[in-house]
Amino acid sequence: EEEEEDEYHSDEDDDDANEVVEEPAEELQPEEEAVPELPGPPATPEMKPCDIVDKLFKDGSSLQEACKQKYDGKYYGWKCISGATTGGLCIPPRRRKLYLHKMEGDEVKDATALRTWFVKSAAVETFFLWHRYKQLNGKGKDTQGAGESPPGLSNLSSGYASSYSGSESEEKTPKKSLQDGEIPDGFLRQMFYTIADYRDILVRGGGDTNSGSEKDGGDSSNNNNIVFLASGKENEKKMKQIQDKIDEILRKTNSENQATSGAPQPQQQQQPSGQQRENLWSTFAQPIWNGMICALTYTEKSVSGQKPQITQDNDLKKALLDTDGKKPKPKTDGTNGKDYTYGGVRLEDENSGTQALSPNAPASPTSPQANGARLADFTSRPAYFRWLEEWGESFCRERKRRLEKIREECTEYDGGRKTKCSGDGFECTKNGPNKDKNFKAFDCSSCAKYCRFYRKWIKTKRTEYEEQEKIYGEQKGIYVQQKTDAEGNKGAKSINNDNAFSTTLDTCTKAADFLEELKIRPCKSDNDNGGSDIKFSNTNVTFGPGTNCAPCSQFTVKCNGNVCSGTKGDCNGGTITAEKFDTMVNSPEEVVMRVSDNNTNGNKFDDLQVCENAHIFKGIRKDVWKCGNVCGYNVCKPKNVNGKKNENQIILISALFKRWLEYFFEDYNRIRKKK
């Protein structure tokens, strides 16, 4: 029988995360001598961002195009890219599916048209993100993962996970919050992440910038470029087209500047391409952000017998935009105390989440910080650290959600089950089967199902964490060196002004320190861990099995006829525990299971050396159980399981057989996919 799919999804299902192989950069050709150019077409007329968004959404074809691009039916999880030994960065599913507007023909011919292209891309992305956020955080929220797409559009899988929506006691739905002029903290943080990724495309797409740093020069098609790595194979051609277009516009700008000055500039006085891209972003950033805010004012309007239309909601327009309806409300508006302008919005102290700027704080996007990171500062942080923070937030939120579901299905929590269940699917207070029915049906299959999902998911997350941990020191070193080099450079505002981030890196030597220093809201309280903060430094607990998935601590024994014969100890009415196993069992026998294991410590391929060069598994471990007849029950106790000896647990033989089947099908499917 085919195993039921994990509705939360396991990132192991995403088989697109291949190792990156470094290739030599293409040989750079000498620049051709400049020749006079004929007058080109007139410059693209500049439109206000909200007018661009309005025209875009009224047309509707871009949203249909986005459906095809973003929702292709494939699940996109976190994708970790690493070398053989160095570890690597992990790319969020949100970034992997980032919307890129079409760029065909001569539509994007100058900087103004390029700015419009970015506004369109970010506006559509924001519209889709907001719809998904409402699905996952509103009343009757969809906890099934990625089931729907925007209303009125094709029903395809989105691949987005839920986002944290604020405090636990918050009763407002995302829709109601927005109507009150307040963007929920969790979604505002997603907007920060998103505009930062668009900045990467412009600023970091032109050089070999694997770390997310802003080096000058290099070939934009280099396979180690952070922007190309994040785009993946499916969008590599499109990203190459975008980067070529940006370079073309920059060369045209240089040529026009040279023609205006009347004489060619000396080579040493020409701006490096990296700085030109920075300068271009400084003029693009605010319009892009304004377009994203405008996109939030559009909703679906259904008319009987007609296709749904995307129209601007006047109430949302009044709540979020200024009196002209063209830009976010400034802090001087005074209607709701929120400031979502480009210069005003900020990341508050990460202990408190993402919020709009208070009315008394300075508004310049590059002025010294007032209790938090400005948008301009946050977007200029290296991609590795932004994505590590996003990974930590996503991990804590999803871990909490999964453990709450397990508690609901496996315990007496909140009036749910009447009795405790083991993670293998048996009620702990029921009498176990007699020796003729060791393979009876499970008492609580849903508990076993969600524990199985969690075991697979947490295994993947541990691997992702370890990959990012390995490269943390290298990435920190790159950033520190850049900061040192930029201390005398007046143009290096993105490094010099982000004091909060620099201070965090100064005190954090490991990825665990960095994540714990942030104290992102979903990581601050964990019911499965005694209500304390999640500790990334304690990997065995944070990435360990769910507490409520543990086996039953004991079995109640009830003798029927001669079922209890041939065993030692007081059986009838008594209990079987791990402590009593050794005194009650008759001649235990060893049961050995060999299963795949990502832990590369010790002997990675114990007793199965033939698998070492097959490049399917990172390791094979040997689990040893001792099993015997106890009071008519076939019971097993671990002797050496997952590298640990004599764990204080016992399980029925049926539960052990169930585990073996699960391991078998998981490993078999991995082997089958490699053929």
- In the prediction, which pLDDT does 489 show? 65
- In the prediction, which pLDDT does 130 show? 96
Beta carbons of 325 and 50 less than 8 angstroms apart: yes
Whether 531 shows a pLDDT value over 60: the answer reads no
- In the prediction, which pLDDT does 500 show? 76
Higher pLDDT, 86 or 237: 237
pLDDT band at 572 (very low <50, low <70, confident <90, very high): low
Pair 144, 186 in one domain: yes
Range among 75-89, 355-369, 539-553 rated most confident: 539-553
343 inside domain: no
Pair 183, 213 in one domain: yes
Determine if residue 653 is left, alpha or beta; phi over 0 gives left, psi from -120 to 50 gives alpha, anything else beta. alpha
Lowest pLDDT segment from 228-232, 562-566, 633-637? 562-566
263 inside domain: no
Pair 113, 135 in one domain: yes
- In the prediction, which pLDDT does 333 show? 63
Domain stop point among 548, 563, 590:
548
Domain count, the chain: 3
- In the prediction, which pLDDT does 148 show? 44
pTM value is 0.81
153 inside domain: yes
Pair 83, 186 in one domain: yes
Whether 323 shows a pLDDT value over 80: the answer reads yes
Pair 392, 323 in one domain: no
Q: Compute the average pLDDT of residues 562-573.
A: 56
pLDDT band at 590 (very low <50, low <70, confident <90, very high): very high
Domain stop point among 328, 349, 366:
328
Higher pLDDT, 402 or 498: 402
362 inside domain: no
Q: In this structure, what DSSP letter does residue 427 have?
A: B
Tens digit of pLDDT for each residue in 400-419?
999 999 999 998 766 667 77
- In the prediction, which pLDDT does 647 show? 66
Whether 224 shows a pLDDT value over 60: the answer reads no
Pair 566, 525 in one domain: no
Whether 305 shows a pLDDT value over 50: the answer reads yes
Torsion on CA atoms 166, 172, 175, 177, rounded to nearest 10? -70
Pair 53, 143 in one domain: yes
358 inside domain: no
Lowest pLDDT segment from 57-61, 441-445, 622-626? 441-445
- In the prediction, which pLDDT does 169 show? 42
Higher pLDDT, 435 or 180: 180
Percent above pLDDT 70 for the chain: 67
Pair 530, 556 in one domain: no
Tens digit of pLDDT for each residue in 112-127?
999 999 999 999 999 9
Pair 248, 214 in one domain: yes
372 inside domain: no
- In the prediction, which pLDDT does 158 show? 38
Which residues make Cβ contacts (< 8 Å) with residue 669, sequence separation at least 6? none
Burial of 597 (0-12, 13-18, 19+ CB in 10 A): buried
pLDDT band at 306 (very low <50, low <70, confident <90, very high): confident
Pair 525, 577 in one domain: no
Q: How far apart are the C-alpha atoms of 202 and 209, rounded to whole Å?
A: 12
Pair 542, 573 in one domain: no
Q: Compute the average pLDDT of residues 45-67.
A: 87
pLDDT band at 61 (very low <50, low <70, confident <90, very high): confident
Q: How far apart are the C-alpha atoms of 457 and 6, rounded to whole Å?
A: 9
Domain stop point among 524, 548, 572:
548
State the amino acid at position 175 in one-letter form. Answer: K
- In the prediction, which pLDDT does 174 show? 93
The 10 Å Cβ neighbour count of residue 506 is: 10
Whole-number average pLDDT of the chain: 76
Range among 93-107, 529-543, 554-568 rated most confident: 93-107
In sequence order, the β-bridge partners of residue 23 are none
pLDDT band at 65 (very low <50, low <70, confident <90, very high): confident
- In the prediction, which pLDDT does 19 show? 36
Higher pLDDT, 570 or 188: 188
Pair 66, 211 in one domain: yes
Q: Which of 133, 104, 125, 303 is nearest to 198 (CA)?
A: 125
367 inside domain: no
User: Which domain, by its residues, includes 389?
Assistant: 384-548
Which residues make Cβ contacts (< 8 Å) with residue 361, sequence separation at least 6? 344, 346, 370, 371
340 inside domain: no
Higher pLDDT, 274 or 494: 274
Beta carbons of 492 and 573 less than 8 angstroms apart: no
Range among 120-134, 490-504, 523-537, 561-575 rated most confident: 120-134
- In the prediction, which pLDDT does 23 show? 34
The 10 Å Cβ neighbour count of residue 478 is: 18
